[in-house]
Structure 1
Amino acid sequence: MFDSRHIQTFAEVVRTGSYAATARDLGYTQPAISQQMKALERAAGTPLFVRAGRGLRLTDAGQVLARHATGILSSIETAHGQLKAITRLESGRVRVCGFPAANAALLPATVAHLAAAHPGIRVELLEEEPPDSLRALREGRCDLALAFAPEHTGDGAHHDSGEGLVETELLDDPLLALLPAGHTLAGSSHVELGRLERERWIAGCGRCRGHFVAACAAAGFAPDIAFTTDDSLAVRGLVAAGAGIALVPGMTLSLLRHTEVVARPLAPAGSRRVSAFVPEGHETAPVTALMLRTLSEAAAGMEPAIA
């Protein structure tokens, strides 16, 4: 393996034609230059120079290395410049894998802020529900995953989520009962989930309805799920038509507003924790750290789901 400093000195020796001239130009002693070239020849496994009178002549191997030296140094300089740009947040890329509600409610403000403050940073978006979003993160298909869980600690700090991931809590997302405007409980300030036991329900796919089923179980009943869809607009339309009711996260409320549906908080209150996950050790990388800060700021700036 070649030392880049030795390659730089080698290029200067080729330019000047002697160790003495190189030493003067670089501010080294002549023995120091000679030692560097000996080290480079050991790495190359062959002599690079032969004496030619008072000067030096390149060997065949030296000529090969000389042809590549400029490109090597240019590549190193380019890489150094690109690394500095990333460190200064002048460029970079972050691949985010989020679930639909987060992509609709949280990501737009985040991306808009980054575009205004750091236009050289590119955000790429994938969409997967948890746990698939976390699987994509572990498989390296994204750099940051957004996911949710029913528990909430409320401190917004970094937590080791196990299995090599670090969690940053973003917000506590309340669960709301979405009812037709004419429902007998539509005028209530809060709705007890147990009072909805005999309703027909609209729920997400089998992988996505875990929070809903668990909440119903805690209220003492198993829901009668008549319709299965992950499309928020379809949920809104079915509820407005009186086909059923749904339990929806507050994050999606802006997508569900309609004169013929109302959203009411649960009593006791239910919620899910929405968090960002990154591989352990990556939370301090400049672009990743910026994305986490910006997501946290966007989450803090979100309006409450219910006034």
Structure 2
Amino acid sequence: MFDSRHIRTFHEVVRAGSYSAAARALGYTQPAITQQMKALERSVGTPLFLRVGRRMRLTEAGEALARHAGVILDSMSAAQQQMTAITRLRAGRVRVCAFPSAGATLVPEALARLAVDHPGVRVELQEGEPPDSLQRVVGGECDITLAFTYPGLREQVPEELVEIPLMEDQLTVLMPAGHPLARRRAVKLGELAEERWIAGCLRCRANFLHECAELGFAPDIAFTTDDNLVVQSLVAEGLGIAMMPGLVLSFLVHQKVQGRALEPASRRQVSAYVLREHLEIPATALVLEELKTVSANRVGC
């Protein structure tokens, strides 16, 4: 393995034509140059220079190394510049996987903040639901996953991952604007036992059924979809009501749909998950900080 310092000195000796000239150019003493060249020759296992009178001539091995030395130094310089850009957050790539409602709310806000001060940091977006999205981090398919858990329905988190709590997302009920209970600020789940329901993703549906069972009724689920826009459209047409996360309220698109909080409050925990060693990567740590900031701003909204 070559020592980069020795390659740099060798390159200057070849350019300057002698040890003494290279020493002056690099600010070294001539004995220091001599020692470095001897160390490089030991490393390659053969002489690199021949002395002919007062002049130095490259050996065949020296000529071969001289042809590559400039390329080696240029590549090292480019690598150093890229590493500096990454560590100083002028560049970098972070792959973020988020469930749909976080992808439509928390992620865009965080990326907008990121773009102001660190436009060179690029973020690639993926969509996924837990627990599959957690496995993407473990498998190296993404760097950060946003996922949610419900009280009493927490699954085992892979031990390789660190959980970073972001916010509690209060559950709401979406209902047609003309629904009799839409005039209230909050509704009780038990009051809706006779309604037709639209259920969401597998994990949300499991929590919904669990909460209904706790109140002693089995809901009439007329439709099942994990598409938030489809849920809103079905509710708008009066085909059912739906228990949805509060994050969805910020992108309601139907004027005929109203969202009302549950009473007593029911919440899910939204967290970011990342490999422990990735916390030391500057760009990843920065994206996490922005996600924490925008999540904190939403608490209580």
Q: TM-score, normalised by structure 1?
A: 0.89
Tell me, yes or no, if the aligned pair for 1:169 and 1:275 is still in contact at 8 Å. Answer: yes
Describe the SS at the equivalent of 1:202.
strand
Please identify runs of 4+ aligned residues in structure 1 that moved more than 6 A: none
Structure 2 residues not aligned, in runs of 5+: none
- Could you tell me how far 1:37 is from its partner in structure 2? 1.7
| C-alpha separation in 1, matches of 2:30 and 2:280 | 43
- Could you tell me how far 1:186 is from its partner in structure 2? 2.5
Q: If each structure's helix is expressed as a fraction of its own residues, which one has the higher value?
A: 2
Counterpart residue type for residue 142 of structure 1: C
Question: Which residue does the alignment assign to 2:130?
Answer: 130
1:210-225 aligned at under 5 Å gives the runs 210-225=206-221
50-59 vs 68-77, which deviates more? 50-59
1:151-230 aligned at under 5 Å gives the runs 151=151, 162-230=158-226
Question: Which residue does the alignment assign to 1:158?
Answer: none
49-58 vs 267-276, which deviates more? 49-58
1:244-264 Cα distance to aligned partner (Å, 9 max, x none): 111100001122353332222
Describe the SS at the equivalent of 1:24.
helix
Residue among 212, 215, 233 paired with 2:229: 233
| C-alpha separation in 2, matches of 1:148 and 1:212 | 14
1:19-168 aligned at under 5 Å gives the runs 19-151=19-151, 162-168=158-164
Tell me, yes or no, if the aligned pair for 1:232 and 1:255 is still in contact at 8 Å. Answer: no
Identity of aligned residues (%): 59
| C-alpha separation in 2, matches of 1:215 and 1:281 | 37
Coordinate RMSD, CA, aligned: 2.1
- Could you tell me how far 1:45 is from its partner in structure 2? 2.5
Describe the SS at the equivalent of 2:292.
helix
Q: TM-score, normalised by structure 2?
A: 0.90
- Could you tell me how far 1:84 is from its partner in structure 2? 1.4
Tell me, yes or no, if the aligned pair for 1:167 and 1:275 is still in contact at 8 Å. Answer: yes
Structure 1 residues not aligned, in runs of 5+: 153-160
Tell me, yes or no, if the aligned pair for 1:216 and 1:223 is still in contact at 8 Å. Answer: yes
Question: Which residue does the alignment assign to 1:277?
Answer: 273
**Distance verdict in 2 for CA 1:51–1:214, change over 3 Å:** farther
Question: Which residue does the alignment assign to 2:238?
Answer: 242
1:45-75 Cα distance to aligned partner (Å, 9 max, x none): 3221222222321111111111111111111
1:205-260 Cα distance to aligned partner (Å, 9 max, x none): 43553332333333333333221111112111212222211110000112235333
- Could you tell me how far 1:14 is from its partner in structure 2? 1.1
Tell me, yes or no, if the aligned pair for 2:167 and 2:299 is still in contact at 8 Å. Answer: no
| C-alpha separation in 2, matches of 1:62 and 1:208 | 69
Question: Which residue does the alignment assign to 2:14?
Answer: 14
92-101 vs 113-122, which deviates more? 113-122
- Could you tell me how far 1:100 is from its partner in structure 2? 0.8
Describe the SS at the equivalent of 1:258.
coil
**Distance verdict in 2 for CA 1:296–1:17, change over 3 Å:** same
Counterpart residue type for residue 17 of structure 1: G
| C-alpha separation in 1, matches of 2:67 and 2:136 | 43
- Could you tell me how far 1:26 is from its partner in structure 2? 2.3
The count of corresponding residues between Structure 1 and Structure 2 is 297
Tell me, yes or no, if the aligned pair for 1:129 and 1:208 is still in contact at 8 Å. Answer: no
Counterpart residue type for residue 242 of structure 1: G
